[in-house]
Chains A and B, each alone.
Chain A
Amino acid sequence: MLIDIAIIIIKIMIVIGGIITTVAYLILAERKVAGFIQERYGPNRVGLWGLLQPIADGVKTLLKEDITPARANRIIYHLAPAMVLAPALVTFAVVPFGSGIDAFGRHIAFQVADIGIGILFIFAITSIGVYGVVLGGWSSNNKYSLLGGLRSSAQMISYEIALGLSVIGILLLTGSLRLNDIVEAQIGMWNVFRQPVAFLIFLVAVFAETNRLPFDLAESEQELIAGYHIEYSGFKYSMFMLGEYSNIITASALIVTLFFGGWTVPFIDVTKFGYWGAFLSVVSFAVKTGFFLFLYLWVRWTLPRFRYDQLMHLGWKVLLPLALLNLLFTAAWITYA
């Protein structure tokens, strides 16, 4: 009993520690990639290749003055950053990040919570992440932040539908909502080859869900200066940033889990090799997730921002019908073939 609780606590610490560390270096990577794409160096002063830059940034935001606008709604203004960060960290709990090991006379899965409705849990938690953005934008009592919050809520609700529908095809093929079952069903053949259309829809929708370019209408600098977090400073501002980048990590991990075989390694059955196999599976998961993290950065510094009407057009008139058609074809294929 005691050892079970200890294992769970260690897993939670590994996952949260891993996410926070990855966020720190993802922000550094973002600045480096931006630098290379724009033919400059990016941050390279603090430590070797600028590797200590995240620590410098963290200390800086902690020491900055925490400003509250005079006419802000104080309770909600102070709560909003936590409402963004908490769901972003909780979502990763159901993502399996390795095959698991046998130790202490039991099987230890590399996943905090293996629940039967894993994929629905993720949709539920990500759908409440929008509250922090909307309420933060409203409580600042600033017209730009209010507009950012409103845009974000409309955008996230619109793309959630395409996101959910694109996954149903995979659920039909797997016959389970458990993420580990979805991963194991992909041994030998990744879902991206079975459901290429669903993958494209999911990829686009997930960019919109995380408020990233080319869909970062909630922040768009030219129009709204900084959008929903315009009035935030100091550590509350970094909490919004932590939430945004944690969402990116979870989204990349989810793409890998659903479409690219999760922790499985092509042509090798990692469950046969004990600890080394488990290690290999975690490496496989990390490499694949890392690629999608890079894709996020690559897209951000390559594509221009959409206009708001184009965003809504794409979501409702292109992605939604496409997702429905894909679902129809998948269902027909399963029924008749």
Chain B
Amino acid sequence: MTESLFFVFAAMAIVSALMVILNRNPIYSAVSLVITLFSLAGIFLLLEAYFLAVVQIIIYAGAIMVLFLFVIMLLNPGKEAKFLSPTNPRILIITLLSIAFIGMIFTLVSGTANYIGEAASSTGDLGTTRNIGLTLFTKYLLPFEIASLLLLVSLVGAVLMTKRNLR
């Protein structure tokens, strides 16, 4: 049951992720990204990481993607231009970067294969709200605070950019 559901969610995630980059209409791309995020939330649910799944939907699908849509609708860009011509030098750079990225992912996945098995066997209270809170505020307190400081800085910067005439 769990395994077949995993394949359903994984297929949905991959297909919708492809739709994000293959669609010319930015609105369709944004909606496809929302479907990708939902499929990932489904996979988190199967891994019994309920908190992570719900937070994924609240933050990414519920807030960030709504803002994306908001901006796309305000700017109302037309359909994206067709593919780059094969003689364009950017094609070469893009291909090289993609190969490097795929190579990195393969190295990571082959290195963590053992960990995945471990995580799956220690089911239960791994992803509960209480445990995530405890880990975040004890073991990983410093990275957590640094990340929130980073967000605060970018927030202040964004406000400052809109109010340039105040200075």
Interface residues of A (CB under 8 A from B): 73, 76, 115-117, 120-121, 123-125, 127-128, 130-131, 134-135, 138, 146, 149-150, 153-154, 156-157, 160, 177
CB of B57 closer than 8 Å to a CB of A: yes
CB of B55 closer than 8 Å to a CB of A: yes
Q: Are the CB atoms of A128 and B67 closer together than 8 Å?
A: no
Q: Are the CB atoms of A149 and B73 closer together than 8 Å?
A: yes
Within B57-110, the residues touching A (CB, 8 Å) are 57-58, 61-63, 66-67, 69-70, 73-74
Q: How far is the CA of A224 from the CA of B14 in the complex (A)?
A: 40
List 22 A-B pairs, Cβ < 8 Å.
Answer: A73-B27, A76-B31, A117-B51, A117-B129, A123-B54, A123-B62, A124-B62, A125-B57, A127-B57, A127-B63, A127-B66, A130-B62, A134-B66, A134-B70, A134-B73, A146-B73, A149-B73, A150-B73, A153-B69, A154-B70, A157-B66, A160-B62
Which chain A positions have C-beta within 8 A of B73? 134, 138, 146, 149-150
Most chain A beta-carbon contacts within 10 A, residue among B55, B66, B128: B66
Q: How far is the CA of A315 from the CA of B27 in the complex (A)?
A: 28
Q: How far is the CA of A108 from the CA of B46 in the complex (A)?
A: 25
Q: Are the CB atoms of B67 and A121 closer together than 8 Å?
A: no
Given A124-B62, A138-B27, A160-B62, answer yes or no on A131-B34 (Cβ-Cβ < 8 Å).
Answer: yes
Q: How far is the CA of A115 from the CA of B45 in the complex (A)?
A: 12
Q: Are the CB atoms of A127 and B61 closer together than 8 Å?
A: yes
Beyond A123-B54, A124-B54, A149-B73, 4 additional contacts (C-beta under 8 Å) are A120-B129, A124-B62, A135-B31, A150-B74
Interface residues of B (CB under 8 A from A): 27, 31, 34, 50-51, 54-55, 57-58, 61-63, 66-67, 69-70, 73-74, 128-129
Cβ distance B66 to chain A, nearest Cβ, rounded Å:
5
Q: Are the CB atoms of B58 and A116 closer together than 8 Å?
A: no
**CB-based nearest B residue for A124:** B57
Given A127-B61, A131-B34, answer yes or no on A177-B69 (Cβ-Cβ < 8 Å).
Answer: no
Q: Are the CB atoms of A124 and B70 closer together than 8 Å?
A: no
Given A153-B69, A154-B70, answer yes or no on A121-B54 (Cβ-Cβ < 8 Å).
Answer: yes
The total of interchain contacts (Cβ-Cβ below 8 angstroms) comes to: 68
Q: Are the CB atoms of B58 and A120 closer together than 8 Å?
A: yes
Q: How far is the CA of A120 from the CA of B31 in the complex (A)?
A: 23
Given A117-B54, A150-B74, answer yes or no on A177-B129 (Cβ-Cβ < 8 Å).
Answer: yes
Most chain A beta-carbon contacts within 10 A, residue among B27, B54, B61, B74: B54
Which chain A positions have C-beta within 8 A of B55? 120
**CB-based nearest B residue for A116:** B50
Q: How far is the CA of A167 from the CA of B58 in the complex (A)?
A: 15
Q: How far is the CA of A123 from the CA of B55 in the complex (A)?
A: 10
Given A117-B129, A124-B54, A135-B31, answer yes or no on A150-B61 (Cβ-Cβ < 8 Å).
Answer: no
Which chain B positions have C-beta within 8 A of A135? 27, 31, 69
**CB-based nearest B residue for A119:** B54
Cβ distance A75 to chain B, nearest Cβ, rounded Å:
9
Cβ distance A69 to chain B, nearest Cβ, rounded Å:
16
**CB-based nearest A residue for B34:** A131
**CB-based nearest A residue for B62:** A127
Cβ distance B65 to chain A, nearest Cβ, rounded Å:
8
Q: How far is the CA of A146 from the CA of B31 in the complex (A)?
A: 17
Q: Are the CB atoms of A153 and B74 closer together than 8 Å?
A: no
Q: Are the CB atoms of B58 and A124 closer together than 8 Å?
A: yes
Which chain B positions have C-beta within 8 A of A154? 70
Cβ distance A145 to chain B, nearest Cβ, rounded Å:
11
Q: Are the CB atoms of B70 and A153 closer together than 8 Å?
A: yes
Q: Are the CB atoms of A153 and B50 closer together than 8 Å?
A: no
Cβ distance A242 to chain B, nearest Cβ, rounded Å:
21
Identify the 5 closest CB pairs spanning chains A and B, nearest first. A127-B62, A124-B57, A120-B54, A124-B58, A124-B54
